Every structure is written in structure tokens, then in C-alpha cells.
Structure 1
């Protein structure tokens, strides 16, 4: 493990550094003090040091240790990150956010870990990216981890699958819908009516967002669906202006199944 891991994770360059120096006004060197501390100089010039939360170096290090005994990995971490330094202790605290190493058990073939509030929960539903096998003490990756991005992708895939079951798009203005009454309907869409934005006379600027005008969605008014419009039609900014129930022969010819 790198001995400067704490600096990589917590520290970042001073605010106002790099290219900002060339834009600062020149100072009169005759009025400058002969001696000044580094902290005072950094504060007066705007070079303020700030903390960072960049866990990528720590995550890369732990990833490289997968398959090794956790006791040896933890010994290396303790050798480089002490408890007497606030910054280094801060980094050590983040390890427990990434690795489940306390209270890991197996129950009926399922791995259980201690949740953030103490209760045991399945590993696949936890936020831990790594875990320590209680039988072997080996560090392992959580292969069943569902990141927020993966969860959003799964929800969108499920939404698209449900949309295809109840809606078929004929063209940009017409769709076939299996609505709550159990029948197929042909629905005609139009864009939501808008008006030009009103000027703001106080600031003498025009608000670029168009004003929405009132309209009536004929499908929702008839109580044929309880879904929000963007979910019902698969996109934002449209509403239904006409609807027509399809006969069984039409639905069969269009290969629409209930």
C-alpha cells in the first residue's frame, strides 16, 4: 500500500492555485513583509487548502488485494494509516464503507452482513463492494452488487418491457393502447400547447421557458388510465386529443394481444 494514500484520498490542491496566479494583480514588493508564515501567506493569497473525498485510489488498492487473506491486507493498511492522525483515521473509516469484514455470516448458503443500522441483511442487497469470507478469511468482491446506475438501468428496462406490452406506436401522432378497461384503443396525440414566455419588465429580460396553456387529455378524463402522461405515452410533452376503441377484428389484424 502506498504510504501517501491518505494524501491521495483526502487532500487536494489549494484553492486558487495553478492558472489563477497569472490573473492576480502585481504587488508592490517594497511594501511586502520580510517574513511571513506559510499558513498566513496561503490564507492571505487565497490559496486555501481543502479536503477531498476521492476514494478511487483506496478502491483500486482494495480491488488489487482481492483473493488475499484479509488479515494481511489489514496489517498493510494499519502500517500506513495510523489512528493518531485525523486524516489517516478518516481514510480508515472509509474502509468499513467499502469492505464488510465484521459480522459476516452464512445462513443456508446466503451471505449475511451487518447493515448500517446494525441489522443483518443479504450481501446482494447491501452497499458493500467487498466482503471477507468468514470461513477462509479471504477478501472477495461482491459480484452481486447493484450500483445506482445498474438499478436505474434495470428499472428502465422493466419500464420499457411493460410499455411494449400495453402500447404499440404506429407513428409520431398515433398509438395503440391496452387501457384499464381491457380493450385496445387508438389514441391520437398532440404536443402540449404553449405560449411565448412573458418578458420580465423589472430585469428587462425574457424568460426563455414557454408558458404552458390549459388542455384536456381525453384518455385520462375518461378514467381509462391512472398512469402519469409521460409513462402512459412513453415520452414527455404530449397529450391525447382523440381516442377510438378498436374492434376485435382490428386488434387481431394488427396482432394486438390482451
Structure 2
């Protein structure tokens, strides 16, 4: 692993830092106001709050190149570059398990289970990253190869099946699975990742996302929100437009 991996990943502007519309007092909701500061304007008008915008592609490429190696050796290399003496480096290490399922076991019924950092134990027929650590030999292997050996559909086929999740009569809301949501804000489609299954119907979940009620309770949180790329829009059969919501 390159020594400056943590710099490559974290040194970019925070996402949503410039997504508030231009300050136009004539369009201000408070007609009596003669002045509004930039922070208050962004807080009131931006459709979402600031969040980190790490460039995780270098970390993903590094892990993909380690297929066939022992996880213990790879993790030792990661620890050499990302030690525990730096908060930023520790933050980068937290993203490693986004791309590889490290804690894997097989229960007495022969079911493969992976311990997700947010969702707990997840069977192989649910969402797993592209890579996993074999519990027998500790080698990094491809998840799709394991799915194929067990007669399960590939990961991408699983994603396509998830698009059939009950949606409800909404043109601005699409639920991919329990914790993956597509929602339209001000004419633009965004992908939201939740930290757990909210265990509620589509109407209630849509309302809480639009009204940002998840910021005021502890039942579940939005851990990631990103605007869909043109390729993702085409894959889901969606399109952006102005003037909505």
C-alpha cells in the first residue's frame, strides 16, 4: 500500500459544501429579512447537510489487487501505512470493510454469514462486498465465485432483484433493498445508504427522508448520500429534471 494513501483518499472538498442555491433575498422565504448570512442560508436552503466526500477508489483498487493473498499479510501492510496514531488514518481504515467481508463464518446449517459493521450478521444471499476472507485458509477471494459454487445468483443479479422491492405510488422514491434508497430532491436523484433496516413502509420512510426526520431520532441514520451518475440513472431507468420537490 502506498504510504500517502490516507492523503489521496481524504483530501478533497466536503460533499454538499456548495449545493445551496445562490443568495437571493427576493426569493427568501422570510420576506421581512434584509440580510442573511451564508451559513444560515446554506442551513435553510440546502436539500441536505454537509458530509465527507472521500475518494475511496484507490483503496478499492488496492484491495482488488490483493486477491489470492492472506488477509493477515494484507492487513499488516494496511496497518503500516494507516496506524492508530492518526484520527484521519483511523477513519480511512474504517472504510476497508466497505470493500471486503472480513469476519466470515459458516454456521451449523452450512449457511455462510458475514458480520457487517452496520447490519450485523448477513447471509451470503443478501448484500456482500466483492471480496471476502475465507474462514478456512484466511485467503482473500471473490464473492461471486463463492456464490457460483453454492448455486446462488451473482452479486449484480442480486442488485437487480432488489429493484423489485415494493415501492408504493411515488414517482420520487425507489427502494432497492432494506437499507438502500433512491430519492429525488429538487429534480435530482440521490442514492441513500441507511445504517440499518428502518422496518417501516415506503410512505413513512419517504416522508422521514424528505423531511429529514432521521436527524432527530436514533432509530436509523443516513450514512451516505450521493447523486446518481448518468450510468446509474440509465441502469435504474430514471432521469433528472428541474422544478421537482
Quickly name the TM-score band, shorter chain normalised.
Answer: 0.3 to 0.5
Larger radius of gyration: 1
Provide the TM-score with structure 1 as the length reference: 0.41
Q: TM-score, normalised by structure 2?
A: 0.43
